[in-house]
Chains A and B, each alone.
Chain A
Amino acid sequence: MTTITLRRSEAGTAAVSPGRNQAFRTATGGLINRQRPLDFSFDGVRHLGFEGDTLASALLANGVRLVGRSFKYHRPRGILSAGSEEPNAIVELRTGARREPNTRATVAELYDGLEAQSQNRWPSLKYDALAVNAFAAPVFAAGFYYKTFMWPAAFWEKFYEPMIRRAAGLGRAANAPDPDTYDKAHAFCDVLVIGGGPAGLSAALAAGRSGARVILVDEDHQLGGRLLSERREIDFRSGADWAQEAVAELESMSEVRILSRTTLFGVYDHGAYGAVERVSDHLAVPSAHAPRQRLWRITAKHAVLAAGAIERPHIFGGNDRPGVMLAGAVRAYLNRFGVLPGRRVAIFTSGDDGWRTVADVAAAGGQVVAVIDSRSSVSPNLRREAEAVGARVIAGGYVSGTKGHLALKAIDVVDTYGSSETIACDCLAMANGWNPIVHLDSHLSRRPVWNEVIQAFVPGALPSGMAAVGASAGRLTLAECLKTGAQAGAEAALALGFAAAARDTLKTDPEGIAHTPLWRVAKPKGKAFVDFQNDVAASDVELAHREGFRAIEHLKRYTTLGMATDQGKTSNLAGLSIMAELTGQAIPSVGTTVFRPPFTPVAIGAFAGHHRGKEFRATRHVPSHAWCEEQGAVFVETGLWLRPAYFPVAGENDWMQTVNREVNTVRSKVGVCDVTTLGKIDIQGRDALALIERACANPFGTLAVGKARYAVLLREDGFVMDDGTIARMSDTHFVMTASTANAAKVMQHLEFCHQWLWPDLDVQMVSISEQWAQYAVAGPHARDTLRDVIDPGFDIGNEAFPFLACADVTVGGGIPARLFRISFSGELAYELAVPAAYGDAAWRAIMQAGSQYGITAYGSEALSVMRIEKGHAAGAEINGQTTARDIGLGGMLAKKKDYVGRLLKERPALTDPDRPILVGFHPVDPAQRLRAGARFLAVGASPSLEADEGYMTSVAYSPSLGHWIGIGLIRRGPKRHGERVRAYDPVRSADIEVEICSPVFVDPKEEKLRV
C-alpha cells in the first residue's frame, strides 16, 4: 500500500505523529502524485499529503474532519464541498506577514511546508469556549443585532461591539505589511471561455481551431472540471484523459492562452472582464521577481460562459455536522484525490445523480450503508446496483437529523411511512440537484430565469456577445456539455469571421438526471442550516417570514442569508425555496437577489498591483529636483507633484526658522523658486484672442504684444474656477498659466470651450507644462542676478522691460527661453522659462549668479507666506465657493463682452452685500498665533450658526511684520477695516481677538514691484 511506502519514507523522522499515515487515502487512483509527498501542518499538527492535493483533501486523507467553528454559534464544522463554493472549511493560511484569513481549504493547493490554522475558536478547535452560543441560540436568531444591542446606547461601543467582534469573527488579518508583490495585466481576445470543464474545453477547442484568439480561464490548477472528479468516459477513454488531450491541443495553438489558477470574478460592460491569477499561491514563497497574484483585465469580443454548477445541500437537522458533504464532493475526494471521506457512507439523494456515488464509494473500498432517496419511486436498476454492494435502499424517506459531537457518527432517517431509525455512518453524501452558476451572467444586472426541468435558475437574457453552455446553462449532462460548448465556441468564432466547423459529436456513457428536489425535510431534528457560513437556519427564514421580512432583499438583510464571504453559493436557493413555501408562491415569483462581483474574494493587493505605498499614485518631479535633493530640501506633495517646501541650512532646526530666513532673504536680497508646477498652455491661431476673451472674465482685447496680464476664469455658475496669467507673445500667440492644482482642469475647460461651445474658432492649443522649466527670481537683486543668466544684448531694465512685460530671450549662450516680469511675492520679480532639459543647468546658473547677492532658494512654504503677506488669493480662497467679488477681484471683470460665468455671477445671493469678502486680519495681541479655519464671531457673541460671520482662509507668520497674519472671508469685510472680531476655533481651543485690515500687509503701494 502506498500509505506504507510513505511511512517507510518517514522512518527516519524522530516522532511520527498519528496523523501522518494518511489512513483515509485509497490504495490507488486519483490525480495526485504519490511520488511527491508534501509536509504540512494544521493547528500545529504535522501531516503528509501529496502533490495535487488541496488542503481539504489532504486533511480528509489524514482523517481530519473538524476544521473550523461556525460564525455565530461556534458549531463544529467540517468540509462540505470540493470547490470554491465552500462555506465551512475556511482557515487561516500561512503565518506572520503572509497570514491570510478566510481561505477555503477546498481550493488551497497543498505545498511543502504549508501551515494552516482553524479560526473563530478559543482556546482550541475542539474545546471552543464560545460554543455556549449554541445554547443561547434563541438570542442569536435572525435580527439579533437589531433587537438585542439597541439599548442602552452607551453600551454599544464599550460592551456590545467588542463582544460581538470577539464572538462572531472570521480569521485574523496579518498585522505586518504584505511582503509579496502583485501584478496587473491587460489581455484581449476574440473568444473568452470561462471555465475549463468539458463544456469550456469543447468551446475553446472549437474556437481555437478556427484561429481565433482564445483565452481559457479556470480557477483550478488542473483543467477538466467535473471530469477530474467523476468516473466518466468520452470517446472510450476516461474523461480526465480526454481533458488532458484537449489541454495539450489547446497549448499547441499559438493564439490560445490558458490561464489556470485564475478566477474570473467579474463581468463588466462592453466585454470587459476581471480575473485574478494565483501565480504563486501554490508555493511557500513566490519565486524571485514573480508576483504572488496577477489581476487580469480581459477585453473579449465574445464570451462563452462554461462555469459549471454547484450542488445543493439538503436542509435537515444537523446538516452542518462534519462528515455531511455534498455528494459531488464525496466523488471528487474519491476519484480525483484518492481519499475516502468516510468508511461508512450514507447517501441522501433526491435524484438519479446522487446514486453515482454508490459505485464510486464501493470502488474506492468504502462501504455504502444506505441510500435514502426522497423520491418514492426509484429505478430498479439503481436499486439493484446499490443492493449489490450491500447498501440499504430507503425510497421515499429522508434524513431528519445527525448524531456525533465533533464528527458524524449516525443519521436519523424517517421512512416513507414516517417511522424513524438511526443508521450508523461517518459520512453522509447529499445530492439535491445542481444550481447552474448564474453569478457571472448576473453581474450586468440581468436576472436569471427559472427552469422547471432542472428546478433551478438558469441564465436569462445574456449580454450581447455572451453565450452560456453546459451545466452553467442548465445543460447538466456530459453529452450536452460537450455539444453546447463546441457549438458556442464555433458560433463565436464564426461571428467574428473565422472559419469554424463543428466536429462530430463525442460519445459519452449514458447518465440519468431525473430529479425531484426536496427543498427541506418535513420534520428536522435540531437546527437545519440554510446558510452554513453565516449560521442562518431554516427557522431564521421562518422568523423573517413571521416578522414581515418576506421580500427577498429584506430576507437577505434581516437574516444575513447569502451575505458571507461565500456569497450564498450553496444557500441562496434554499432560502428562497423556504420563503416560497411559507408565502405560498412559486420559487421564481419570490425572485432572486442580485449577484455582484467578485465571484470569490479577491485580495486588495491584487487590485492595487504595483500601485501601493510610495507608488500608490504617480509622482511628478520638478526640473530642479536633483539640486533640491542635493541640498536636503524638505518636499511636500502638491497633487501629484513633489515640490520643495523649504531648504534648511546648517544651524536651522525648525521649519519656521528656515521659512523666515527664506522670506527675509527674498524681501531684502534675492531668491529663486521652482514654479514649473504651474500649468502652461500654448494658445495660437487666428481666433486665439477670441477664445481667451470668452473663457476669461477680465478683458484681454487691449493686451499688447510683449505684455502679460493676470487672468481670472469663472465657471458657468459664476464661481471662480482658477486664476493665472496670459502673456501675448505675438498677435496670434499667447501663453497662459494656470494654478498647479487646476492645470489639467483648465486645459480640459479650454478644450471644452473650443470644441463644444465655440467650434468655429480657429485656435490651436497644446499643453507646454512639461516643456518649460519655470523659475521665479524675486527680490531687490532679481535683475542683477538675471543679468548674468540671460544672454547679453537683451535689456531687462525697468524701462525696456517694465512690470508685466514678456519676451523671447536666450540664456546660457543661445538656448531659447522666455522671460516674464510677473510677481507673486510682491517683490521685483521675473519668471524665467527654459527648456526643461536645461532646467537643472539654469537653476544652477541662477544660484551661481545670485551668490554674490546672497541668493536663497525658496520653497512652497515661503512662497505661501509671501502671497499671504500680499493678500493674493490661492487655493484656500479659490475653493469653488467664492466669486471674483468675494476675493476682491470684482473690479477687474469685463462689462462689454460675453464670457463663461458672466450671467450667473450676478445672481442675488452672489451679489448680496452681506456676503463674506476677503480682507486681512492681525491678532490684537501680536504674540498670538492665528489658525486657518477659525470662524469669525462678533466680540461677545455666543458661538452659533446665526452668529457666524465667515472664516479665516489662510494664515502665516509674517517675518516681515514680526507677527501672525491672516486673510479670510467675513461679511462686508472691506467696510469694516479696524473693527475687532473673534477668530473662534473650538477644534484647537483657540479664541483670539483679531482686527480687520487690508489684506495687503506688505508694500501696499507696490513700490517694490515696479522699480
Chain B
Amino acid sequence: MSEGMTTSAWRPRSAWAGVARAGRHGRLQGEAGVRLTLGDGMGLATLIAADGQETALRQILTDRFGWSLPEPGGANVVGERGLVWSAPGQWLAIAETRHALDGLAEAVRGLAAVTDQSDARALVRVSGPCARMALSKGLTIDLHPSAFRTGQSAVTSIAHIGAQIWQRNEAPAYDLTVARSFADSFWSWLDHAAAEFGYEVVGTSGH
C-alpha cells in the first residue's frame, strides 16, 4: 500500500451505493426495532502470522499499535480500531480509514502477511431492541448474552452468505461484514428480516 498521499480525482463507490437507502423502512409504527448504520471507507486488512511468529507478532502489535491479538472467537476493537479473530493465526485489522493501516505491513514484515481488504467487505452496524431477533433469522449462531458478548466474534454465514460478526457493546450493537459482491443480495434479505420490526438506516459510520 502506498502512503496516504492520494490526491485522486477518482471517487470510491460505497459497497452500499444503490443498495441501501437512508431513512425508515418496514413497519412504520412506533420506534424502529432495528437500527442499521452503514460502514464505509474503513480500513480492513487480513493479518496472518507466519509459523512460530505469533508471540513476536503479539509483542509488536502491542508496542507499535497498542493492539492485543484476540483469542479464537474474540474481537479487541476500541472505537473503530482493533483486531478481530478470523481463523487460526489469522485476524482482521480494522481502522477508521484505509490509510490508517498503511504502516502495518512494514511493521510486521517477516512475522505476518498483511493483505489489504478495505474494499472486500460491506460493513453494517446492527443495533436496536430487535437487532438480535432480526439477525437470528439468518445467523445460525447463538447471540444470547450467555453465548456471545461484547468482544466476541464469529466467522459464519448469514442467509447463506459468508459473514463475519463481532459484538461492539452490550446494547447490543453488532458489526457485521459480508463480501462486497453480495451486498445487494444481503440487503434484500436484511430488508425482509427487519421489516416486521421496522428499521432505520443511517448514513455511514466511517467518514
Contacts and interface: CB of A to CB of B under 8 A. Distances in A.
Tell me, yes or no, whether A and B come into direct contact in the complex with CB atoms closer than 8 A: yes
Interface in A740-799: 762, 764-766, 768-773
A620 B10 contact: no
Contacts of B17: 626
Contacts of A620: 179, 181-182, 185
A619 B140 CA distance: 20
B78 interface: no
A771 to B, nearest CB: 4
Contacts of A676: 181
Interface string B2-14: 1001111111111
B118 A771 contact: yes
A766 B14 contact: no
Contact of B13 (A185, A622, A840): A840
Contact of B196 (A289, A299, A764, A769): A289
Contact of A813 (B7, B14, B144, B195): B7
A83 interface: no
Contacts of A617: 160
A621 B180 CA distance: 8
A622 B183 CA distance: 11
A79 B188 CA distance: 44
A814 B118 contact: no
Nearest to A187: B136
A771 B117 contact: yes
Interface in B95-119: 98, 112-113, 115-119
B137 interface: yes
A815 interface: yes
Most buried by B among A188, A682, A770, A835: A770
Given A610-B159, A641-B181, A815 B48 contact: no
Contact of B115 (A622, A682, A845): A682
B5 A770 contact: no
A814 B5 contact: yes
B22 interface: no
Interface residues of A, number: 58
A800 interface: no
Given A183-B137, A186-B140, A837-B14, A621 B113 contact: no
B189 interface: yes
A618 B186 contact: yes
Interface in B154-180: 159-161, 179-180
A766 B48 contact: yes
Contacts of B64: none
Contacts of A811: 10
A676 B179 CA distance: 13
A685 B115 CA distance: 12
Contacts of B201: none
A654 interface: no
B52 to A, nearest CB: 8
Contacts of B90: 766
Contacts of A297: 140
Most buried by B among A611, A618, A814: A618
Interface in B5-47: 5-15, 17-18, 26-27, 41, 46
B142 A299 contact: yes
Contacts of B180: 770, 836
A288 B133 CA distance: 18
Nearest to B179: A770
Nearest to B86: A766
A685 B113 contact: yes
A213 interface: yes
A619 B184 contact: yes
Contact of B12 (A622, A733, A816, A837): A837
A615 B185 contact: yes
Contacts of A622: 181
Contacts of B120: 768-771, 836
Given A186-B137, A188-B144, A641-B181, A626 B189 contact: no
A183 B183 CA distance: 20
Contacts of B144: 188, 213
Interface in B118-138: 118-121, 133, 136-138
A181 interface: yes
Nearest to A811: B10
Given A289-B27, A626-B17, A766-B46, A771 B119 contact: yes
A288 B29 CA distance: 11
A626 B136 CA distance: 31
Contacts of B119: 770-773, 835-839
A288 B76 CA distance: 40
Contacts, number: 158
Contact of B185 (A188, A289, A619, A766): A619
A185 B141 CA distance: 11
Most buried by A among B12, B90, B98, B186: B12
Q: Interface residue tally of chain B, by bracket? A: 35 or more
B189 A610 contact: yes
A686 interface: yes
B56 interface: no
Nearest to B3: A814
Contacts of B51: 762
Contacts of A188: 142, 144, 147
Contacts of A181: 192
Nearest to B141: A186
Contact of B10 (A615, A769, A770, A813): A813
Most buried by B among A290, A676, A764, A835: A764
Interface string A796-829: 0000000000000011111110000000000000
Contacts of A291: 196
A187 B116 CA distance: 35
Contacts of A664: none
Contact of A845 (B5, B10, B181): B10
A835 B8 CA distance: 13
B12 A766 contact: no
Contacts of B118: 771, 835, 837
A621 B183 contact: yes
Contacts of A299: 142
A842 interface: yes
B84 interface: no
B183 A771 contact: no
Nearest to B12: A837
A764 B48 CA distance: 6
Given A618-B161, A841-B13, A684 B117 contact: no
A176 B138 CA distance: 28
Contacts of A766: 46, 48, 90, 113, 115, 117
A184 B137 contact: yes
A686 B48 CA distance: 13
Contact of A615 (B11, B137, B189): B189
Contacts of A771: 115-120
A816 B98 CA distance: 12
B11 to A, nearest CB: 6
Nearest to B194: A289
A186 to B, nearest CB: 5
Contacts of A770: 117, 119-121, 179-181
Contacts of A845: 10
Contacts of B55: none
Nearest to A676: B181
A836 B12 CA distance: 8
B193 interface: yes
Contacts of B137: 183-186
A676 B120 CA distance: 12
Contacts of B46: 766
22 contacts: A183-B192, A186-B137, A288-B27, A297-B140, A615-B189, A618-B159, A682-B115, A685-B113, A764-B49, A764-B112, A768-B117, A770-B117, A770-B119, A770-B120, A770-B180, A771-B116, A812-B10, A813-B10, A814-B2, A838-B13, A841-B11, A845-B10
4 shortest interchain CB distances as A-B pairs: A812-B10, A764-B113, A841-B10, A770-B120
Given A618-B186, A768-B117, 4 more contacts: A183-B193, A766-B117, A814-B7, A841-B10
